[in-house]
Amino acid sequence: MITPILMLGAGRMGGAMIEGWLAAGAFAGSDLMIRDPNPGPSALAAERAGAVLNPPEADLARAATVVLGVKPQVWREAAAETAAWLGSGAVIVSIAAGVKSADIAKAFGGRSVARVMPTTAAAIGQGTASVFADDPAALARAHALFEPLGTVVSLTDETLMHAATAVSGSAPAYLYAFIETLEAAGTAAGLSAKEAQRLARSTLTGAAALLARSGEEPAELRRQVTSPGGTTQAALDVLLAGNGLPDLMREAVAAAVRRSKELGA
C-alpha cells in the first residue's frame, strides 16, 4: 500500500511531483495529504482535485508514504512535528539534499527510508531521479513514486548521492545558465534580444531531444556538427581550451558535492 502519500513541504520540487502525478494519472488528488504553511499553486490545485491540505495531526496516521520535501535546513523540525503521529509502517522518502538516511531514520523513529534526488522536469513527466535505499521495500516505494515522473537511476552507495545531486539534481540550473549566457552573447554579436532568445532556446532544446532520441554519444553528435576549420570548431577551440568548459564543469560539480556534504553534516 503506497497511499495515502503525505507531502511534508510542497515547494518547487514537491509541487513538480504533485503536478506530474496528477497529469500522468499516477495518483489522484484524494491520494495526497499536504502539509505546507505557505501552499503554492500546485498544492492548491491538488486540494481542488481532492487532496487534504494541512490535515490535523491525528490524520497523519493514515499516511503509508511520507515525502520529506522541506529544505534541508529545516528537515529536523518537520520530522519532530510529525514523527510521533505516523503509523509504524510508514515509509519515508526524502528529497532533502545531503541529509543521510541514518539521520532521517533516527528522527522518524526507525522507519524505513529512501533517499531521492529528483529534478523539476518531473512536472511534465521528463524528470530524472537518483534513488538510494538499504531497504528493498523502501527502494521499491521510491521507484513507484518516481517512475511515473520520468527516469529513475538506482545508486548502490549512499555516498554517491552527493555526486548525483551535483550531476543531476542541480544540473538543470547549469543548462539554464548556459542558455542565458548564450542569449547574451547573441545580442552582443548583433542579434536582437528576441532573435537571440528564439534561436538559442529552440536550438538547444532540439539538440537535447536529438540526444535523447538518437542514442548517440554526445561526443559523436558534437563531431557530426563540427567541420574542421569551420565556425563550430572556432567556437569549440574557445570552450574546450585550458580553463574552459571542462575545467569549469569539474569545479562546479565539485563545489556542489562539497555543499551537499555540508548540508548533511
Give tens-digit pLDDT for 220-263: 999 999 999 999 999 999 999 988 999 999 999 999 999 998 88
For residues 8 and 78, is the Cβ–Cβ distance under 8 A? Answer: yes
pLDDT of residue 72: 86
What are the cell numbers at 80?
A: 519532530
Q: Report the C-alpha gap between 20 and 147 in whole angstroms.
A: 11
Instruction: Return mean pLDDT, the chain.
Output: 95
What are the cell numbers at 200?
A: 538559442
Give tens-digit pLDDT for 76-113: 999 999 999 999 999 999 999 889 999 999 999 999 99
Q: With bands split at pLDDT 50, 70 and 90, how would you rate the model's confidence at 146?
A: very high
pLDDT of residue 264: 74
Q: What is the pTM of this model?
A: 0.88
Angle at 63 between CA 57 and CA 67, to 5 degrees: 100
